């Protein structure tokens, strides 16, 4: 596969005639004629929004010619969609039963996280 060859002929009045591989490329219907300022639009159309590289030749009205290669733009892969967050689990309450409490009394419930032995002096460290 060869890359497209885009030729822009700039006329004295500033309008531009465009061909791609020898086939005329006109602006959209009812659009004004191509001008030098249309270069970006011309390249986008000729390269399918810059997905392919193109060789570009600009022929000025005074006879000078410029040639360049327009590289295809690198397309970034879209960021992966994050997994939906799992809803927070509801707390599970345990029933603690005991005797000897006064109605309405505040009760402290603790979870044992470890065990240790008291030293010979009766102190303990955990």
> Is residue 38 in a domain?
yes
What kind and span of H or E run contains 20? strand 16-20
> Is residue 35 in a domain?
yes
| Domain boundaries, position 39 | 5-70
> Is residue 89 in a domain?
no
Please state, in angstroms and rounded to a whole number, the distance separating the CA atoms of residues 8 and 33.
13
Instruction: Quick: pLDDT tens for 15-37.
Output: 999 999 999 999 999 999 999 89
96 exposure class (CB count in 10 Å sphere: 0-12, 13-18, 19+): exposed
> Is residue 106 in a domain?
no
> Is residue 122 in a domain?
no
Please state, in angstroms and rounded to a whole number, the distance separating the CA atoms of residues 9 and 79.
41
Q: Which 3 state secondary structure label does DSSP give 47?
A: coil
**CA 11 vs CA 6, 58, 86: distances in Å:** 16, 11, 64
User: Using 50, 70 and 90 to split pLDDT, how confident is the model at 57?
Assistant: very high
Q: The pTM is what?
A: 0.57
Listed in sequence order, the residues at least 6 apart from 66 whose beta carbon sits closer than 8 Å to its beta carbon are 57, 58, 60
User: Using 50, 70 and 90 to split pLDDT, how confident is the model at 1?
Assistant: low
> Is residue 105 in a domain?
no
- Domains of the chain: total: 1
Average confidence (pLDDT) over 5-12 = 94
Please state, in angstroms and rounded to a whole number, the distance separating the CA atoms of residues 10 and 62.
9
Please state, in angstroms and rounded to a whole number, the distance separating the CA atoms of residues 85 and 43.
43
| Higher pLDDT among residues 2 and 9, named by residue | 9
> Is residue 41 in a domain?
yes
Instruction: Quick: pLDDT tens for 78-125.
Output: 888 888 888 888 888 777 777 888 888 888 888 888 888 888 888 888
The pLDDT of residue 66 is above 80: yes
> Is residue 95 in a domain?
no
Please state, in angstroms and rounded to a whole number, the distance separating the CA atoms of residues 61 and 11.
5
């Amino acid at each position: 596969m060869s890359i497209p060859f885009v030729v822009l002929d700039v006329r004295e009045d500033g309008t531009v005639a465009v061909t791609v591989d020898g086939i005329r490329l006109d602006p959209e219907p009812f659009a004004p004629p191509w001008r030098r300022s249309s270069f970006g639009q011309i390249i986008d159309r000729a390269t399918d929004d810059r997905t392919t590289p193109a060789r570009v030749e600009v022929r000025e009205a005074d006879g000078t010619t410029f040639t360049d290669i327009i590289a295809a733009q690198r397309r970034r892969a879209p960021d992966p969609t994050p997994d939906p967050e799992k809803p927070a689990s509801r707390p599970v309450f345990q029933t603690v039963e005991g005797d000897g409490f006064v109605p309405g009394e505040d009760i402290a419930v603790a979870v044992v996280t470890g065990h240790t032995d008291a030293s010979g002096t009766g102190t303990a460290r955990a």
